[in-house]
């Protein structure tokens, strides 16, 4: 399990007030019974923690599963690192 996945699962558990043990990469919002308003808070918390902007509408953005969310955050972090490296 990656550090990014650990942190995202922690954020989901905290913001949705659910047991972290219930979260796995294939968990969907429906499986976890997370209301859409809580999901918005989760997105904001993830953006704040990782200092990234999650895309609003993108065919590549799979927010339906916890694993999909981890994948997009890892991709955004890699892109951010590349941009910072190019500036140096």
Could you give the CA distance from residue 88 to residue 56 in angstroms, rounded to a whole number? 29
Is a pLDDT exceeding 80 seen at residue 71? Answer: yes
pLDDT digits (tens, 9 = 90+) for 2-58: 999 999 999 999 999 999 999 999 998 788 999 988 988 999 999 999 999 988 766
| Exposure string for 27-42, b = 16+ CB within 10 A, e = fewer | bebeebebeeebbeeb
Model pLDDT, residue 36:
85
The domain containing residue 12 runs over which residues? 3-87
Q: How many domains does the chain have?
A: 1
CATH code, 28 = 1.10.1200.10
Model pLDDT, residue 62:
66
Model pLDDT, residue 58:
62
């Amino acid at each position: 399990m990656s550090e990014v996945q650990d942190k995202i699962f922690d954020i989901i558990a905290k913001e949705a007030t659910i047991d972290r043990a219930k979260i796995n990469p294939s968990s969907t919002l429906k499986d976890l019974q997370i209301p859409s308003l809580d999901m918005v808070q989760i997105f904001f918390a993830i953006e704040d923690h990782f200092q990234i902007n999650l895309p609003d509408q993108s065919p590549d953005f799979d927010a339906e599963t916890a694993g999909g969310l981890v994948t997009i955050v890892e991709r955004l972090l890699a892109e951010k690192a590349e941009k910072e490296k190019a500036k140096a």
